[in-house]
Structure 1
Amino acid sequence: MSQSYPKFDRALVVLHVDDDPMNLRVVEEILGAFGHTAIKANCGADALRRLSEQAFDVVLMDIHMPGMTGIEAVERLRQGAGPEAKTPVIALTADVFSRRPDEYRALGFTDFVAKPILVSGLLEAIKRACEPQAGKSAAANAA
């Protein structure tokens, strides 16, 4: 039985934020296999810096990181005045018991994906996060 994955109109530029190098590598491989580009950041501060310098279609944000958590990074991002403040951010975490997906949305996240990451679940969340911006994504406008 073959798996069906969502189709995308174009290749996306995705910022993936995680303090675990293996998680960064796995997601980079997944996204690359579907024609998307993953830019890696290993902490919240690095993610905010990259977001201020480059437009991304979507951000995949780990929740539990040393220094600045994913929640703190999203709070700072959403408080910003630049166009990056509206970038969709998907929460990634193995801690599925402390918060429900709707609680992550209330914190400023666009969607939620549990770890370990399933390819179909990740791609479906990315598709949902990018749909409202069809043809108007920050990365497309920056090109």
Structure 2
Amino acid sequence: MESIPASLPRTCIMDVQFSEQYPLRILLAEDNRVNQKVLLRLLKRLGYEADVANNGREAVEWVRRKPYDLVLMDIQMPEMDGLEATRKIFEEWPPEERPQVIAVTANVMQENEVACRSLGMTDFVTKPVSLETIVLALRRCKPITGR
């Protein structure tokens, strides 16, 4: 996992114009209301508005209805977990058209990160998510042009 460079000024991290430099359509798939609020607040500080899915099944449905560049995917959710939801998304769309998926989890075990990355997830972010961590993850994402 990449660390925050010491030279990264805090003002650029909290700038709402960040979303203009890194324009992304974001879906947050998270079942916990407190975690939803925290992540939505962090994204808002960077200039993003995100849609929210309350479980993996909803996340797949949202992606079917609307194009996203990125899904912030909680791994442990009811009805359908984040790994299964990611598999379904990746099965339905070719790589150039599907959203990138970043795992967001409280489970920091190495085997969980390996499982997420081997599935094709772009990144692995641990909870509690910090503004600096989400900035690094978002900087590695690119808008999808095929949709």
TM-score range, shorter chain: 0.7 to 0.9
Letter in 1 for 2:101: V
Letter in 1 for 2:65: E
AA aligned to 1:113 is V
Question: Using the alignment, how far apart are the partners of 1:68 and 1:100 within structure 2?
Answer: 17
Q: CA deviation at 1:11?
A: 4.0
Instruction: List per-residue Cα deviations over 1:62-106 (Å, max 9, x = no partner).
Output: 000111110000011111146896210000001001525343111
Alignment partner of 1:58 out of 41, 51, 70: 70
* Structure 2 equivalent of residue 48 of structure 1: 60
Of 39, 42, 53, the match for 2:51: 39
TM-score (norm 2): 0.80
Map of 1:72 onto structure 2: 84
1:91 and 2:99 are equivalent in the alignment: no
Q: Aligned partner of 2:88: which letter? A: R
- Root-mean-square deviation (Å): 2.5
2:13 and 2:46 in contact (8 A); partners too: no
Q: Distance in 1 between matches of 2:31 and 2:69?
A: 21
Q: Which runs of 4+ in 1 moved over 3 A?
A: 81-85, 100-103
The more displaced of 106-115 and 2-11 is 2-11
Q: Is the 8 A contact 1:60 1:90 kept in 2?
A: yes
What CA distance in whole angstroms lies between the structure 2 residues aligned with 1:30 and 1:97?
A: 24
1:13 partnered with 2:21: no
Alignment gaps of 5+ in structure 1: none
Shift of 1:108: 2.2
Q: Which amino acid aligns with 2:43?
A: L
**Structure 2 alignment gaps of length 5 or more:** 1-5
